[in-house]
């Protein structure tokens, strides 16, 4: 279990990661660190860094760096007029969403600034330019179909053999939530033959790279 103080920081942070899924995410990242020692980790989609606390804590325990990838302008579902819009993350000067200050504040409160590195930009473009194998990849970015498909294409092959690939908001039933993470990330990962299921906690799926 993650340090209780860090867990409190995570739960006090804006975001959409339920406690049980956050705990499972932490254990998945620890497993990655054991399976593939010394390789770094990537989180795609940080928002205000609720989930980043769990993954960052695991990265610290594993002695590696977590690269947190996000453009910090909010996903489609976070924009004005959408269900998950929160006006408190809007920059008063620009009138646009800017979650980067929340990222900085969360990492400072968690004491993880020496372990977690913000990588600000388009996740798909950054993934295609990436040149490093990973022990752990967590995709929780934009949930539009094109964005989810692009994130999968750009990032999944960076997971090393025996590494872990975690995906959030995987809903098999449309009544429970959007289908993009399920149909554009989870199903392609399984059908590729490169990954197999390890665990499922709520909407969090944890996969192992097997080929």
Catalytically active residues, by annotation: 143
φ/ψ (deg, to 5) at 122: -70, 125
Place of tokens 């980043």: 52
- 17 and 56 in contact (C-beta within 8 Å)? no
Place of tokens 């010394």: 38
């Amino acid at each position: 279990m993650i340090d209780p103080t860090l867990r409190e920081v995570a739960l006090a942070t804006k975001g959409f990661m339920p406690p049980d899924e956050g705990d499972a995410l932490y254990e998945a990242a620890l497993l990655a660190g054991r399976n593939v020692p010394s390789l770094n980790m990537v989180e795609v989609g940080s928002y205000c860094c609720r989930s980043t606390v769990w993954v960052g804590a695991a990265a610290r325990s594993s002695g590696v760096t977590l690269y947190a990838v996000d453009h910090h302008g909010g996903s489609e579902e976070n924009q004005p007029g959408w269900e998950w819009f929160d006006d408190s993350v809007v920059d008063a000067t620009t009138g646009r969403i800017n979650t980067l200050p929340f990222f900085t504040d969360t990492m400072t409160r968690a004491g993880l600034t020496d372990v977690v590195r913000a990588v600000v930009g388009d996740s798909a473009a950054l993934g295609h330019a990436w040149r490093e194998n990973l022990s752990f990849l967590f995709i929780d970015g934009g949930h539009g179909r094109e964005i989810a498909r692009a994130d999968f294409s750009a990032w999944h092959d960076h997971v090393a053999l025996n590494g872990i690939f975690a995906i959030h908001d995987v809903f098999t039933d449309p009544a429970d939530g959007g289908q993009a993470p399920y149909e554009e990330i989870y199903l392609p990962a399984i059908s590729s033959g490169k990954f197999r299921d390890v665990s499922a906690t709520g909407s969090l799926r944890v996969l192992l790279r097997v080929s």
